[in-house]
Structure 1
Amino acid sequence: MSDALVQRHDEDRIAVITLDSPGNRNALSRRLVAELGQALAEAGADESLHGVLLRSSHPVFCAGADLKEAATVDMVEAARSIIALQRSIAALPVPVVTRLDGPVRAGGLGLVASSDIVVCRDDVTFALTEVRLGLAAAVISIPLRARLSPRAASAWFLTGRQFAAAEALEHGLVTGVVDEAGMDAAVAGVLDDLRAGARQGLVEAKRLLTADLVADFDARGDEMARLSGLLFHSQVAQERMAAAIRR
């Protein structure tokens, strides 16, 4: 394995893209976002593929924003990069299947919501923790509001509480929930179904399904990026992020 934060290998017309930044629990650092964006761009240009599998090399799928980095960089530009990353998942020609074997927090839910199919282990937990730091789930609100029931969105955005895989399934965040022993077979079944399809059919079906979401990214992405940056650079958020890092 290289020292890259995002790895790719192919398995019979499926690009397997693996988040591999254990030092910060796959937080959305500028480097990870850039490497994942590049991997997705390369997969999008590969006409041999029938799908992409997005997964993590270790238990935590994604911890959200990199709080240490957020104190030192232009978070408007960082937010624009995350908008572009989510859009690239939604606009990729072939389906993106996300495998969740561990916790997902904050910005990581944007990757999940932008994906086409999500297979989730039954002990995975989620939380939109932004509100507890003086933030709002701005850049990820675009795919989340497209997927979630309005009542679930209100509860999760406003309370920041942790919720389980069963609740995520009930309200549309994930596609299926299985136990640890069944994960490999469940994911393999989805990928085999994608391999059985004709690429032309997969591409056109996905285009139909994601057209509104891609248009929403284009219409509202910059507004959400500016809001996110404003909140990240606010005094209350800076103080709360510093306290969270010290814990």
Structure 2
Amino acid sequence: MSDALVHRHDDDRIAVVTLDSPANRNALSRRLVAELGEVLAEAGADESLHGVLLRSAHPVFCAGADLKEAATVDMVEAARGIIALQRSIASLPVPVVTRLDGAVRAGGLGLVASSDIVICRDDVSFALTEVRLGLAAAVISIPLRARLTSRAASAWSLTGHQFGAREALDHGLVTGVVDEAGMDAAVTGVLDDLRAGARQGLVEAKRILNRDLVAAFDTDGEEMARLSGLLFHSHVAQERMAAALRR
């Protein structure tokens, strides 16, 4: 059995990419970010594909930043890695469909917002918890601003409160919400629609739709990475992250 944190298998012109880091609930460690980036790069070069399905092997989709790692690594470089990962999702030639069967926190929302289509179970919860640690949703602000209503972005980013799938749908974070029993059929329906499309049409439609988002990563990415690193390395954030890890 592979010890990789990210797995890929193909299913009739769809690359199924699975996050599999249960020890930290798929937190965005440097290793997971690097492995996911490599898998997406391979998928981007595969001209047989009509789409990518991103999902988790475990109940939590993504817990956000890896707080243990954040105390020991250069978080500016880590933030640059996350910017590059989000950009790769947005600029991948074919659509990225994200399946959410479990909770998403903080930086994980950047993966969701960078995706093209998001199918979400109705009991999934979300939270932008950065402010409670003395941080800000900096590197993920780029795709979030492209997807969310401005009022939701303000409320979620400033309060850090938990919100549910229906609220995420209402404000543009996810595409569709279904119950647990309907998830397989809903995701299969989207993937079958992608299979029915001509790859040339899929590629050009995605390029048009994401042109401004990709440009925003290029324009604002470095500034947001530096800000993120500065906040992570601050005394306030280090104290609050240490306290969170003790709980």
Place the TM-score, normalised by the shorter chain, in its bin: over 0.9
Q: What amino acid is the match of 1:173?
A: L
CA distance in 1: counterparts of 2:58 and 2:80, whole angstroms: 27
1:186 is aligned to 2:186: yes
* Deviation at residue 67 of structure 1 after TM alignment: 0.1
CA distance in 2: counterparts of 1:191 and 1:59, whole angstroms: 22
| Map of 2:3 onto structure 1 | 3
CA distance in 2: counterparts of 1:210 and 1:151, whole angstroms: 22
1:65 is aligned to 2:80: no
1:112-127 maps to which residues of 2 (within 5 A)? 112-127=112-127
| Map of 1:16 onto structure 2 | 16
1:100-115 maps to which residues of 2 (within 5 A)? 100-115=100-115
Moved over 6 A (4+): none
CA distance in 2: counterparts of 1:58 and 1:182, whole angstroms: 18
CA distance in 1: counterparts of 2:105 and 2:58, whole angstroms: 15
TM-score by length of 1: 1.00
| Map of 1:156 onto structure 2 | 156
Q: What amino acid is the match of 2:162?
A: Q
CA distance in 1: counterparts of 2:3 and 2:81, whole angstroms: 22
Mind listing any 5+ residue stretches in structure 2 that lack a counterpart?
none
Q: What amino acid is the match of 1:135?
A: L
* Deviation at residue 20 of structure 1 after TM alignment: 0.2
Q: Deviations over 1:10-49 (max 9, x none)?
A: 0000000000000000000000000000000000000000
CA distance in 2: counterparts of 1:135 and 1:24, whole angstroms: 20
CA distance in 1: counterparts of 2:190 and 2:96, whole angstroms: 11
1:1-247 maps to which residues of 2 (within 5 A)? 1-247=1-247
Identity %: 88
Q: Any idea what SS the aligned residue of 1:55 has?
A: strand
Q: Deviations over 1:126-170 (max 9, x none)?
A: 000000000000000000000000000000000000000000000
Q: Any idea what SS the aligned residue of 2:153 has?
A: helix
Q: Any idea what SS the aligned residue of 2:18 has?
A: strand
| Alignment RMSD (CA, Å) | 0.3
Aligned length: 247
TM-score by length of 2: 1.00
CA distance in 1: counterparts of 2:113 and 2:44, whole angstroms: 19
* Deviation at residue 213 of structure 1 after TM alignment: 0.1
Q: What amino acid is the match of 2:227?
A: L
